[in-house]
Every structure is written in structure tokens, then in C-alpha cells.
Structure 1
Amino acid sequence: MNNLKRSLLIITVLMAAVMELIDTTIVNVALSHMSGNLGATLEDTTWVVTAYAIANVIIIPITSFLTAIFGRRNYYIGSIVVFVVCSFMCGSAGDIWTLVFFRFLQGLGGGALLSVSQAVIFELFPKEKQSVASAIFGIGVFIGPTIGPTMGGIIIDNYSWPLIFYINVPIGILAATACYFLLTEPAIKPKVNKIDWTGIALLATGIGSLQTVLERGQTEDWFATGYITVLTITAIVSLTGFVIWELKIEHPVVNLRVFRSKSLTIAAILTFITGIGMFTSVFLTPVIAQRLLGFSPTQTGFLLLPGAIIAIVGLILSGRLIQSGVSPLMVVAAGFMCFIYFNWNMSGINFDTSAHTITINLIFRALGMAFLTVPLTMLAVSSLPPADIPQGAALNNMMRQLGGAFGISAVNTFTARRMAVHRTDLLVNITNTNSYAVGRLNSLISYFEHKGINPIDAKIKAMAVIEQTVVKQSAMLSYVDAFAMIGLLFAMALPLLLLVVKSPKNAAISKMVIADH
């Protein structure tokens, strides 16, 4: 393949991966608009996010198997077509459950766009330049979820929510057409074996149940709800059975034996933690900006944009540093320190915090992602034989998605409980003996009476305002607590880095990872 075709193929598969990743977050700022337009509750509308995540996590680990069955070219192009068609159907949906159904199918189509894209990019680079491939793919991994809210905000403020899905159609058609002419089968074709239907069923049941529990547990009050309890038991039994079954049979749908690679195992753990930080920060920041600080969807989206731009430079820089002989340990440690610094700063924000301050904080978050993506992605696949790279890449990508789902679920639970604690602490101070509280109440009563409201109703309204203030303050305190908790998690993970990489004796990237023997 000549350099022009090679470059065009890299751009094409990266574009497809970015398109898929954008859809993981682009709907976050549009849920309330969808809810009102489709006549659904906000709780039901969140299934638009849940359905996509469930489908993604189910399909990602079996992309290697599906690639072997259908051929990489056919499966990849077919997945783009499914993604595009379902994107159009999502935008055309007339009710919430039609939207959820096609959103699930869209997630099934999108699953291949991440793992196969990564495998193609790594295949196009020689072993000694794998860090460059990792940096290029890292651009998509990072930029997609980050610019999703920005794009969503602009679309919601200026157009309508269906355009969030329609925008995928021309991009997908272009990507599918380019792949038809440029994409070929891998040099080493995976062997097609007997279809492991048992493994597929156990995986789909287990991951689907687990993801639903993680996404809906807090909303449904966890085990106080019958179906959450049932799904938790189902997830445990199915996933345990899946692991046992896949390690037992000769030709599993997901080759868990690749985890014999020490580097892949450690990379998967650290990628899981990175996924927590990556997705929770994108989740918490828009919530604080819109619900507490009063930013518009567009303003909220643009908070993340400067960091996304700077991260591109950081990704390229980190790849070049590793290739030039800088210890990957230093790069990974720098990434974790940036994340710790970001969360520490965000744990100190309040209602007077400016958009500029949040944007600066998010730049450190972006640099953290940039410094982590290259060495961790490289670590996951560089010690694997070529035939196992697609499986290793798929499992590592799944860990990032699971980390995000787990992180958001944990944050939702944590903030809900901390909100109750902070509310109680604040209400203790609102008493007849607190001169500030009494003065504030009397001031509000006088204000409403001045507006012509009778004294009884004026007091009721004044109490409602104070209640609203307590709720907002409790929410802010709980969210900054969440940032502190995530920062602590990254700090606790730092010792794991000592097991990941060691300083290379030369610039060869193959020396970056821990040897498996």
C-alpha cells in the first residue's frame, strides 16, 4: 500500500472511531430536550444513554470473533452501515422506546468501529513506530467523548436534537465508501472456528445485566428494586460461567487466555481506572455547569474544547518522547499526576468559580488523558503476537467502557448519599437562634410582601427559596466531594505504575513494556 492510500485509510478509520466515540457523550446535553419533545420522563430518556452503552460493551469483546467469521473488511463496512442506518432511525423516532431500540442497534454497529479501527492503525505501522500508532489512535479515543458535549450543545442551542443523529449519516457514508476501496484483510487472517453460541449468550446476558445494574442502580434505589437484584445475580452467575466456559473450550468467542500477558492485564486495570476518570469528568462537569452555574449547553460544551485541542499536541508529544527513549514510567506518572491535580482543583470550586477557571482545570484533565493514552494503549497490545492484537485491543477498549460505566454509577451513588449528608449538616444551622438565617428569612418575607403577597404565602415562598438554596449548596458540595474521591483513586493507583513499565536501555519501543517471561 502506497503512502497516500495508507494515510487515507488511517484518516478514514480514525474518523469512524471518533464518530462512534462522539455518540457516547453527545446526547448527554440533549436528554431534557428529548424528554420534552417525545413526551417521556427524564428517567425513561436516560435509557437512550444506557442502551447504547450496553450494546457497546456486549459487542466490543467479540469483535475479533466476528471479524474472523465475516472477514475484517465485510464486518467493518457492515458495522458502519448499521451505525448509519440506525443513526437515521434514531433521529426519525417518534417515541422514546423506538429511539431506545434503534439506539441499542446503533451501539451494536458502533462497537466494531473502535476495536477494528485500532487494529488497522497498529497494523499500518512497523513495530518500532507503534507509539506513533498509539498516539494517532489516542486522538480519537480522547477527542471523541470530549467534543461530544460541545457538538451536542451547539446543535441543541441552534437546531434540534435529531440532528445529533443525522450528522452521522454523511460521515458514515464517506467512511464506508473509503473503506470499500482502501481496507483489506489482515496479513494474518484469524482462523474461523465453530461458533461458540454458549459463550456469546453468557457474555451478552452477563454484560447486559451488569451494565443495566450500573446504569440504573442508583435511579432505582439499588437492591430495594426487585429487577436490580435479579439482574445482579444474573450478571454474577453469567459472567462467572462465561469465564469458566471460555477458558475450558478450545475455540472461545473471547480468548481470555490473552490475559496471560502480564502487560495486557496491568494495562487493562489501569485503563479501567483511566476510564473512570475520563467519563466521570465529562459527566460531572456539564452537570455542575448547567444545573448549578447556569451555563447554556453551548457554553458548557466549549469548556471542554481548549483541553481537547491541547490534548492533540500532548498525544503527539507523548508518543515522540517514548520513541526517543524517555521512560514510559515518567509519561504515565505525569498523566496520573495531571488527573490528580485536575480533580484536586475541581474539588475546590464553588458558585463563584468562573468558566475560565474550569477551562484551565479541564486542560490538565486533557493532558492527563494525553499522557496516559499512548503508553497504556501501547502496553495493552505490544507484547501480543499479531494474531492476538485485535482481541487484546477489544478487551482493553471494553475495560475503558466498563470503567466509565462503573465510575458514573459510583459517582451517582456517592453524590446522592453525600447530598443527603450535606443537606442535614446545612439544615442544622437554619434555626431561630442563628441570626444570619433569621435575617435571610425575614428579608425574603419582606421581599415577597413588597410584591403584594400576603404574609402567610410570603413566608411559604421564603422557606421554599431557602430550601432551594440548601439543595443547590448540598449538590455542589457533593459534586466536589466526588472529584476529591476520584483524585484519591488515581493517587492510590500510582504504585501500580511500578509494575507497568521500566526505563528502557535504548529507544526501541519494544522495550517499553514488561517482558512476559
Structure 2
Amino acid sequence: MATAPAHVAHAPLEGAARVWGTVALSAATFMNVLDSSIANVSLPAISGDLGVSTTQGTWVITSFAVANAIAVPLTGFMTQRFGQVRLFVLSIVLFMLTSLMCGLAPNMTTLILFRAMQGFVAGPMIPLSQTLLLASYPKAKAGLAMAMWAMTTLVAPVMGPLLGGWITDNISWPWIFYINLPVGFVAAAITWGTYRNRDSATYKVPIDAIGLGLLVLWVGSLQLMLDKGKELDWFHSSTIVTLAVIAVVAFAFFLIWELTEEHPVVDLSLFKRRNFWTGAFATAVAYGLFFGNVVIMPLWLQQWMGYTATDAGMITAPVGLLAIVFSPIVGLTVAKVDPRRYTTFSFLVFALVLFMRSRFSTQADFWTLMIPTIIQGVAMAFFFIPLVTITLSGLTPDRIPAASGLSNFLRITAGAMGTSIATTVWEDRAALHHAQLAEAVVNGNTAASSAMAGLANSGFSAEQVLGQINRLVDQQAFMLAANDLFYASAVLFIMLIPLVWLARPVKGGAGAGDAAAGAH
């Protein structure tokens, strides 16, 4: 990147201005993070309303995530062009506009298009909210500023499923997008009023258009391949083969171009640093595993366990409770404790939670389903801050925005891919279990025979009896498939631990202060 003009350091905000500034920045972040989780529990309703399968419905989540991932590395370039404050407020206004368009979408194709646009314009919001917040507080209070910011990003995933479920059950799903309008308006107005005289210097820097084009091409092709694979029978389809070839070729060209370009859209030289690549990959894979399981849980509860969107939201929401309690402690102690230890602890707790879920049965009650979610909050608290500390350790301040952008790009892309892979594996395993269970439902099987006789005596016709039995077989098959997925994810979390220990020890918490600035 070209060297920026001399940076004008503004004095920290004081009193009421700082309070209002913090509220506005937090509200914008809250709205952004809320939108990445609010649609999860509403998927069955959206899919049903727009007449598509829930597998196609997951595009509502993945299109947002992929576009968001592509926009994040561009934040540095766009900040230099427009200035931090102008870009941040523009991002909020465009986010409100695309939210309105999502709510008004008449069919699934337009909804996916508008969600992609919404994800793209949301890209600069999170990195810039951190930058502006840190500039609002004196250096000594940077830890406090980031702890408050982290609270917002942890409360939003709790509120997302609850709000999404309640709105879907009581109003209608478009309102999960419309609620962004009042929040966005307040956030944009206060931010502009408080920060407009504190904007960063702007200068024209060349855009790496070819690098950006190749980035969109390979990420888009790869995600499309993962999303459509199940539907088109994977590599038996010429479309999937074509997408795979495009993704591989575009990725190869992207690597060559970015390593030789003077102003690359993504600074790949960061991968020369051991702590950067170990931290960034551990974060990406763990987040992909976590997010894939987060999407499967409400789908399973609503489709096969008879839960309403509100109840599914209540089971998935408490993940933030213990995270809110433990995050400030982690933030304050990460400089004193080896962050690799904290990350190892986090992965072990994630593995424990997923192992508990792999023991679920169709008889599992509300509390059995909820307890692992509550415990997962502990893993969340020890996940982000230590991994960001490892990833950004030893970097000079001028490289932190690029490193933060690149690691966030990897994390968000992994989340989108995790969603596609998890839903595909879940359905494949369910088909396998269905076939195995159906073999057992033969007349010689006493349990099956007595169940059929019982249903026939209740006045069901022969077709209705088979329909009921098939529904039970389906329910068991999807439950066993979910168990397989949870168990495999638990094993993968344990296998990730050695990767974290490849990182060099972070000396005296070096980078911890800067790490806070690049968290999430």
C-alpha cells in the first residue's frame, strides 16, 4: 500500500460526546452482527414463503457472508479514498437501504442478490467502528473501549435468534430486515454529529482492479460450487466441474498477481509470518466449524423436532451469556497468560459441547438441548481475543489494518463454506441413515409391526400408516446425521490444537493492545 499522508491524531473525546460516540458505533456494530445471525432461525419460514427448499434457503446466509468477506479487505483502500467517518456513515446508510430491499424482495433470487449487496456494503462497518472507538478513548482506556465493543458483538448473536424467532412467529420475516432502519438512522445521525470534524485524511490510491476481480471470481465460484453441489450431484455435473476449474485457475492467477502487484488488494506477504498464518488458519477453520453447527441446530429443531422459530431461538440464544461474563476477564489477562493456552482451552470446550450434542436423541428435552449452548459461551470468550493476539503479534501498527482485514476475510469465508459443507454433509448422512433404518422396517421386525398395527387400529389407512412410519424414520435419520456432524466437528476441534502451538510464544502480550483493535 502507498504511504498515507501524515496522520492527524485527534484528542480523545470527553464526557457526553464520548458516551454518545460509543453508543452510535456500538449500535451500528450490533445491527451488522445481528444481521449475520438473525436469519438463521427464520430460514424455514423464508424458504417456505418463497417456495424453495431449505438447502436453497441457506443461500440467504452464505450470500451475505461471501460478499461481506470480499468487502472487508477493501476497507483500507476505501478509507484512504473517502475518509474513515464518511465511509462509516455511508456504509450504515447503504446497509439500511439494502435491508429495506431485502424485506421487499418478491422471490428468493432477488432476496439472495439484495443480501449479497447488504453483505458487501456492511464490510467496512466492523473494522471502522473499532478504529473510531479506539480514537475516542485515551490510550490507557483502550482495553475498556474494546471490552465494551466486544460486549456488543457478543450480545448481538444472543439477540439474533431470539428476535428472528419472535418476529417470524408473531409478525412476518421481512421485519427481521426492517428493524435495521430505525437503528441505522440513529447510529448514522449520532456518528456524523460526533465525528464529522474528526475524519481521516484522504488521498487517491490506485485500486488493484484485476486482483479484486480475481478475488470475486475464485471466492464466488468456490461458494457457488459448494452451495449447488448437493443439488446437482457434485462432480457428475458439468456445472460443478466448470465452477471447480474456474475457482482453481482464478485462485492460481490471484496468487501470482497479488504477489507481484505494487498495491495489492490483499497483502499476501503476511503469510510469511508464522504467527499470522497459524492464528488466521486456526481462527478460520474453528469459525467455519462453529458457524456450520450454529446453522444446523435451528434447522434440525424446526424441521424434525417440532420447535417453533421462537423456541429454536431460545435454545440457540444463551451462547452469549457466559461469553459476556468471561470476555472482559480474557481481555484484561491475555497480556499475562500465553494466548495459546487460552485458545487450547477454548477448543477443548467447543469439543466438549459438540460431543454432548452428539449424544442427543429425538426425546431430548428443552434443557438437555440448552445446556451445551450455555457452556459454549465459555469457549466463545476464550476464542477471539487470544487468537487475534497470536495473529497480529509482532506486526508494526501500519500493517495491522491489512492483517486484520485478511484474517477477517478468511474467517468470514470459512463461515460461509462451513454452512454449505455442514448442510450438505447433514443431508447426505441423513439419506444414508434413512436407507439403513428403512431396511429394519420390515414385517419381521416386531417393533415396526406393533407400531404399524397400533396406527392401523387408530383408524389410519395403509398409506397413512406408511407415511407416519416414514416420517419417524426421517426424524431419526436426521437426528443421527446431526449426531455424526456434531461428533466429527468435536474431533476436528481437538485436531486443531497442535496448529495453535506452532505459533511462537507472544512475548509479554505484545500486540495485545493492537490485537484488541483487530478483534473480530
TM-score above 0.5: yes
Alpha-carbon distance in 2 for matches of 1:200, 1:223: 28
Q: How far is the alpha carbon of 1:105 from its aligned partner?
A: 1.6
1:468 is matched with 471
Question: What residue identity is the alignment partner of 2:421?
Answer: A
1:247/1:256 contact within 8 Å kept: yes
1:135/1:318 contact within 8 Å kept: no
Alpha-carbon distance in 2 for matches of 1:127, 1:263: 25
Q: Deviations over 1:400-432 (max 9, x none)?
A: 212212222222232222222222322232223
Question: What residue identity is the alignment partner of 1:87?
Answer: S
Question: What residue identity is the alignment partner of 2:380?
Answer: M
Question: What residue identity is the alignment partner of 1:214?
Answer: L
1:28 is matched with 40
- Asked if 1:269 corresponds to 2:281, the answer is yes
**Percent identity of equivalent pairs:** 32
Q: How far is the alpha carbon of 1:344 from its aligned partner?
A: 0.6
Q: How far is the alpha carbon of 1:306 from its aligned partner?
A: 2.7
Gaps of 5+ in 1: 450-457
- Asked if 1:210 corresponds to 2:222, the answer is yes
Deviates more, 1:383-392 or 1:43-52: 43-52
Question: What residue identity is the alignment partner of 2:349?
Answer: C
Q: Deviations over 1:322-366 (max 9, x none)?
A: 24x233233212211110110010000111211112221001212
1:138/1:373 contact within 8 Å kept: no
Alpha-carbon distance in 2 for matches of 1:390, 1:503: 19
Alpha-carbon distance in 1 for matches of 2:333, 2:416: 32
- Closer/same/farther in 2, CA of residues 28 and 491 from structure 1, 3 Å limit: same
- Closer/same/farther in 2, CA of residues 216 and 138 from structure 1, 3 Å limit: farther
Alpha-carbon distance in 2 for matches of 1:485, 1:292: 21
Query: After the TM superposition, which residues 83-162 of structure 1 pair with which residues of structure 2 at under 5 Å, given as runs?
Result: 83-121=95-133, 135-162=147-174
Q: How far is the alpha carbon of 1:250 from its aligned partner?
A: 1.1
1:376 equivalent among 372, 387, 405:
387
Deviates more, 1:113-122 or 1:11-20: 113-122
Question: What residue identity is the alignment partner of 2:372?
Answer: N
SS at match of 1:348: coil
- Asked if 1:394 corresponds to 2:397, the answer is no
- Closer/same/farther in 2, CA of residues 149 and 284 from structure 1, 3 Å limit: same
SS at match of 2:151: helix
1:13 is matched with 25
- Asked if 1:52 corresponds to 2:55, the answer is no
Query: After the TM superposition, which residues 170-319 of structure 1 pair with which residues of structure 2 at under 5 Å, given as runs?
Result: 170-183=182-195, 192-319=204-331
1:155/1:163 contact within 8 Å kept: yes
Alpha-carbon distance in 1 for matches of 2:511, 2:392: 15
* TM-score, L = length of structure 2: 0.89
Alpha-carbon distance in 1 for matches of 2:401, 2:475: 46
Gaps of 5+ in 2: 1-11
* TM-score, L = length of structure 1: 0.89
Question: What residue identity is the alignment partner of 1:248?
Answer: T
Deviates more, 1:236-245 or 1:44-53: 44-53
Deviates more, 1:177-186 or 1:391-400: 177-186
2:322/2:377 contact within 8 Å kept: yes
SS at match of 2:362: coil
1:135/1:374 contact within 8 Å kept: no
- Asked if 1:359 corresponds to 2:370, the answer is yes
Q: Deviations over 1:196-251 (max 9, x none)?
A: 11111111112222222233322333223333322222121112211210110111
2:481 equivalent among 478, 489, 497:
478
Alpha-carbon distance in 2 for matches of 1:185, 1:174: 18
2:77 is matched with 65
Question: What residue identity is the alignment partner of 2:207?
Answer: I
2:443 is matched with 432
